[in-house]
Amino acid sequence: MRIVFAGTPEFAVPCLRAAANKAEVVAVYTQPDRPAGRGRGLTPSPVKLEAVQRGIPVLQPENFKSALSKRALRALKPDLMVVVAYGLILPQSVLDIPLHGCWNVHASLLPRWRGAAPIQRAIEAGDSETGVCLMQMEKGLDTGPVLLAQALEIGADETGGQLHDRLSALGAQVLADALGLLRATIALPPHPQPDAGVTYAHKIDKAEARLDWMQPAVALANKVRAFNPWPVAEAQLAGERVRIHGAVAIDEAHAAVPGSVLRAGRDGIDIACGEGVLRIRVLQREGGKAITAADYLNARRDLPR
């Protein structure tokens, strides 16, 4: 079975390994190298690094608009194309090239959280469950029928980074199961997505990381978890801008102005919110590293104890 794999970030790497273990990956498509780091040098994607290590040919077109890019894909004679967080919209003319079409591994239980940031949006919304769907791709954005799905509980304190890693591993397992069935010529029945329950996980803007103390503490705690490790929540704390890496919501009534410090101690720094209290446990000063609230308080003797 000849597979063409298309993916870019670290999330897709376990799926590439699963595909390579189940079939012949004849080529890997990934985004062109981008400037990164302090030197802004061109940096290959994690998927490209994995492909090079495995000796798999790598192609990096800007898009699939040209006839040449489509001819190159057709020349590979793929039985299947597996797409995982590739970052490019594939036109129908590309989806029609592989014998079995194109599969997509998506990190949500569709139709909830179609789009670019399903992991962070699920946590931000306070969802208790998410999962992975293997979808038969069609022209619409994550609208295709689901072939296999696996649910996963979201931990009460789980961060976006932690959930990312668990869903990445689960996605690889779901893909491996599906490839095993395909090799055994066992049909995967397509399940059309229902119209009810559609939500969109829009791409995250760094500006969203700024916390508004007028919001409920529960919403802010979810945002802190969702945006860890990127872009990391930030807020004004007693006149200083800090980044917040860890916080929990406390159900406590108060009459204080949102944003004011209610108390500070070894357990954390309690901030009045529009509803409830946000206890900051891990934070970062400008130019510094992430530290516990207790360490931060050693430098902020002005805060109420």
CA dist 98 and 291 (Å) reads 51
C-alpha closest to that of 279 among 289, 300, 293 = 293
Binding residue per annotation — 111?
Answer: yes
Write the single-letter amino acid at 99. Answer: L
CA–CA distances in Å: residue 174 to residues 169, 187, 189, 241 = 9, 15, 15, 42
Binding residue per annotation — 61?
Answer: no
Query: Helix/strand/coil (H, E, C) string of 247-271?
Result: EEEECCCCCCCCCCEEEEECCEEEE
Supply the DSSP symbol for 113.
T
Binding residue per annotation — 260?
Answer: no
Binding residue per annotation — 147?
Answer: no
* DSSP for 139-159, written as a single string: SSTT-SPEEEEEEEEPPTT--
Joined tokens for residue 245: 């890496």
Segments of the chain assigned E as strands: 2-7, 24-29, 34-36, 41-43, 58-59, 80-84, 102-106, 114-115, 129-136, 146-153, 200-201, 233-237, 240-250, 261-265, 268-272, 277-285, 290-292
Binding-site residues, in ranges, read 108-111
Binding-site residues for (6S)-5,6,7,8-tetrahydrofolate, in ranges, read 108-111
